[in-house]
Structure 1
Amino acid sequence: MSERTIVVGVDGSEPAACALRWAVKQAALTGSTVRAVGAWEFPAFYSWEGGPMPPDDFEDAARKALDDTVEQIQGEADLPPVPIERLLVHGHAAQALLDASEQAELLVVGSRGHGSFYGALLGSVSQRCAVHAKCPVVIVRH
């Protein structure tokens, strides 16, 4: 990992695109590289006996979401040209981001704003990152 790296969680959502835009602007100010991190895992309802789609499709969908978001942001004329690395990880999104940001100067995540019940029920990636990251965390609201 380069000396100055900003790690960003990217899952194909608009809040993640907002987080990537913010990170690109910050990287231009600090001379950093952006590392866009996507994560995928098998859903809890999936079984090896036959789920809704083949196992490779989960990884392919996550890779497409990561690639599409990075290409969208790189194509926006009002953003500075900043190097964006891509990393796709198998595992829970929060843990993938925590691991990828261990040596980073900053971790940036989008906020989906589901509310307290949803966050308490499923756990919040942004909340877990904010509590456990070894670097500063920025949560970008959509």
Structure 2
Amino acid sequence: MAEEQVYDEKIVVGVDGSEQSRQALRWAVRQAGFTHALVEAVMAWEPPFSGWGGAVAVAEEEARLADLAHVALAENVEKAVGAQPSVEIKLRVGKGNPASVLLGAAREQASLLVLGHRGLGGFTGAMLGSVGQYCVQHAPCPVVVIRDSAS
């Protein structure tokens, strides 16, 4: 049985499929190399809802959506840092609002929360997206916001 690695810190990073989130992940991986930290890449997903206010998804559909989110997260991690990253990266998908999922992960003894300056939202000129804004204001740990150098 392999001995479980002990880390000095845990860095939580939000990944939503945007290039900004992949830049945040690359930054988090470099930082983890300096601080001997575990990186926890987090992606949120929400079940589809009908226009009548009720949830459409059933348990089997939600399990399928969670699996799809996990695949998307794994693909984004590999796209950002390759198949053999220099540090350990734990993948975590969570059901719910992205800000709530990220803050929940950060509350589990994260030393740092890392986000891209904006995600997939429609306001491309925004200095900080709504998820980032909420996380900066409510995180239980320091937050690093990575700005796209081309922005």
Give TM-score, length-normalised by structure 2. Answer: 0.74
The aligned residue for residue 138 of structure 2 is 132
Higher relative contact order (CA 8 A, sep 6+): 1
Root-mean-square deviation (Å)? 2.5
Contact 2:8/2:36 (CA < 8 Å) preserved in 1?
Answer: no
- Residue type of the alignment partner of 1:128: Y
1:55 CA displacement: 4.6
**Percent of aligned pairs sharing the same letter:** 47
The aligned residue for residue 41 of structure 1 is 46
Unaligned runs of 5+ in 2: 1-5
- Of 127-136 and 61-70, the range deviating more from structure 2: 61-70
- Residue type of the alignment partner of 2:70: R
- Of 55-64 and 41-50, the range deviating more from structure 2: 41-50
Within 5 Å, give how 1:44-59 maps onto structure 2. Answer: 44-45=49-50, 55-59=62-66
Give TM-score, length-normalised by structure 1. Answer: 0.79
1:3 CA displacement: 4.3
Distance 1:76 1:55, change over 3 A: closer
- Of 20-29 and 63-72, the range deviating more from structure 2: 63-72
Contact 1:11/1:62 (CA < 8 Å) preserved in 2?
Answer: no
Unaligned runs of 5+ in 1: none
1:60 CA displacement: 3.5
How many residue pairs get aligned? The number is 131
